[in-house]
A and B are shown apart, each in its own frame.
Chain A
Amino acid sequence: MTPATRSPLMWAVHLSVLLIVALWTMPTAGLLISSLRDKDQLAVSGWWTALATSSRNDVARAPSADSQVERDGKFVISGNVLDGQAGQISAFGFSSREPAAFKAGETAELTGGEKLTVQADGTFEIVSDTRMEGSRGQRIFFTAAAPPRFTLDNYKEVLTAEGIGASFINSLTVAVPSTVIPILIAAFAAYALAWMPFPGRAILIAVVVGLLVVPLQMSLIPLLKLYNGVGAFFGVPAKTYMGIWLAHTGFGLPLAIYLLRNYMAGLPREIMESARVDGASDFDIFVKIILPLSFPALASFAIFQFLWTWNDLLVAIVFLGTGQDQLVLTGRLVNLLGSRGGNWEILTASAFITIVVPLIVFFALQRYLVRGLLAGSVKGG
């Protein structure tokens, strides 16, 4: 390392990168932490306070006068304001105007002369010299410090009640065939464009490059009409999985052909020539030599296509229905944003389930993803 490594400037580099990384990961971290928090705590405090003890103001009602017991000539009503929840009482009161007038352990004198004591652990006693009356119990206001609580309940709820579990299966149903089917089709086409001379090859390559950037929006309406027409003609529903697999195949082909052609064109010519001298046909060369050698490029494309089909919303909401058996994760998430807009425990858990598969794919296969990106963008390298 050069002396510059130890200079103050290097410290600035370390610090700024650290800051940028924090800035870039914080949003996702916040989502993950929030999704694991108790939903009552999530609703009242920021996720960055998740580890801190949160204090809440609450009110409990003592049992009615029926439950009083006579002890040493005094009448006593007892109970616990926390009612089984964890927490630590710091203050209490008996009127809504002064809900924290007394410290835990102190004794307050109620308007009727009874004495109320609330301990830090939540137990309370109302003591009176005379028999107490009234069918409604005394209200007790208190401030409790609750320890941080983490739970998987949010996930349990969204997976079952909110239909995220079903949508997860639907998303897999869309993404897996949509990833695999185009590969073979594209590989044969890419080989033809890379290594088989024929008139019009340059034009076809130009067309593929052009189609790479055609906005999906151009395809939506004509294909919707086409699908409706085909559906009506054969008497089948227009919105089927078969329809979306084929659509994703069509939309993914330009990138697949482009990536694979670039990769195959870079393979050494000598391999193919020596095979041809040995009497191998184009078909043999492709299947036995090119296809195995192209594995890195095939993997790159497969990752791209999987991420793209899993994360896609537009194609799915146009070409698939919105029923329980067809709504994909992204579509479900958009619906939840509308219907459960304020329920962050639902939204964060659902969003995390939506992004967890791509994240696993990303971290496991990042190498191929980067290679594919480089091949697709910085040609010539």
Chain B
Amino acid sequence: MQQLLAAILTMIAGVLACAAYFWGTNFILDRIFPSKGLSGKAASRNLRITNAIRPWLFLAPALFALTIYLLYPVVESVWLSLHDRGGQNFVGARNYGWMMNDGEFRQSIFNNFLWLLVVPALSTFFGLVIAALTDRIWWGNIAKTLIFMPMAISFVGAAVIWKFIYDYRAEGTEQIGLLNAIVVALGGAPQAWITLPFWNNFFLMVILIWIQTGFAMVILSAALRGIPEETIEAAVIDGANGWQIFFKIMVPQIWGTIAVVWTTITILVLKVFDIVLAMTNGQWQSQVLANLMFDWMFRGGGDFGRGASIAVVIMILVVPIMIWNIRNAAKEMRSH
């Protein structure tokens, strides 16, 4: 309780300090270069100067934090990936060479590509279908809320929820895991699902699909509603049926949004860590890059060289999407 109080006090102090900084620097700037009560020329000169400086005063704390916590680490990680475990001795590309021949790394790359193929595709597909269906019924909003709900649940919490569903009891005893209970009821033999190599990847993916479908649904539903009525009416008049309207008229008009949803989930998949850590910790051939990176960060006292090189691989996989995002943002800014 005491620590919570300390946290809240620190928070208030932090916010006040921020406010004091912004107010104080502005005050000082206006004092040094006053524009009120001066003759026309001096006033406009001072106004020009303050207008040039002020944006940087506004930006300074944010730029400082971004530099320390994101920009500098990116450079430093690349640099560290060229060094040995302690980060002292330059080893060139040796970490990357090690990686290519490491069975666990190859396994992780393979699994990550599986995740990349399956999770964004299925989440987006389910999201689109559910958005289209719920938009037609009166209790659609309630349905959407319930499907969207897993979004608020932590990956670890979701892992516990699903581990319970995959729970395995020896054959013959009563199954308390839902999946095995269904399998047994249908006459099958119970399985320890998350220990089945290869297939366990899919059982872990289900968790992320369960979480992300709601995200896809919310965004695609908004996009579907933004489609001009006339295009659909025209198709109805021309005698198009429901399927044709959906796939030939509506979906093509929201390709841009589908791409945004797809890439957002793709980024998330590349960073997926908690689910694998909590479910299998990479055992039974279910390792992924983010968990492998975390593992090397602390394994045997920590190998910063190898950990950083795995992080760089994740970064490289993200870069195409990053460039695409930046180009899109630039395009939008120009059109404004």
Contacts and interface: CB of A to CB of B under 8 A. Distances in A.
Which of B19, B152, B290 has the most CB atoms of chain A within a 10 A radius of its CB? B152
A185 B18 contact: yes
Contacts of A196: 51, 54-55, 58
Given A20-B130, A337-B160, A358 B152 contact: yes
Given A213-B318, A222-B80, A377 B264 contact: yes
B163 A337 contact: yes
A52 interface: no
A220 B7 contact: no
Contacts, number: 342
B161 interface: yes
B22 A188 contact: yes
Contact of A46 (B140, B146, B176, B321): B176
Interface residues of A, number: 117
A177 B274 CA distance: 23
B261 interface: yes
Given A31-B164, A205-B333, A218-B311, A25 B10 contact: no
B19 A325 contact: no
Give the most central of A44, A221, A257, A337: most B CB within 10 Å: A221
B148 A366 contact: yes
A214 B178 contact: no
Interface in A236-289: 241-242, 245-247, 249-251, 253-254, 257, 265, 279, 281-283, 286
A223 interface: yes
A209 B328 CA distance: 10
Interface string B99-117: 0000000000000000000
Interface stretch (B60-68, B89-97, B196-204): B60-68
Contact of B11 (A14, A177, A307, A354): A177
B62 A333 contact: no
B315 A215 contact: yes
B326 interface: yes
Contacts of A254: 66, 70
A270 to B, nearest CB: 16
Pairs A-B, 8 closest by C-beta atoms = A250-B69, A311-B154, A189-B62, A362-B152, A222-B76, A177-B11, A192-B58, A222-B73
28 contacts: A10-B137, A27-B210, A169-B1, A173-B3, A180-B11, A180-B14, A186-B62, A189-B59, A192-B55, A206-B330, A214-B322, A215-B267, A215-B314, A222-B76, A223-B69, A224-B297, A253-B66, A254-B70, A279-B36, A286-B58, A313-B277, A314-B294, A347-B163, A355-B153, A361-B152, A362-B151, A363-B145, A374-B222
Interface of A: 9-10, 13-14, 16-18, 20-21, 24-28, 30-31, 34, 42-48, 169-170, 172-173, 176-177, 180-181, 184-186, 188-189, 191-193, 196, 198, 201-202, 204-226, 241-242, 245-247, 249-251, 253-254, 257, 265, 279, 281-283, 286, 307, 310-314, 318, 325, 330, 333-334, 337, 344, 347-348, 350-351, 354-355, 358-359, 361-363, 366, 370, 373-374, 377-381
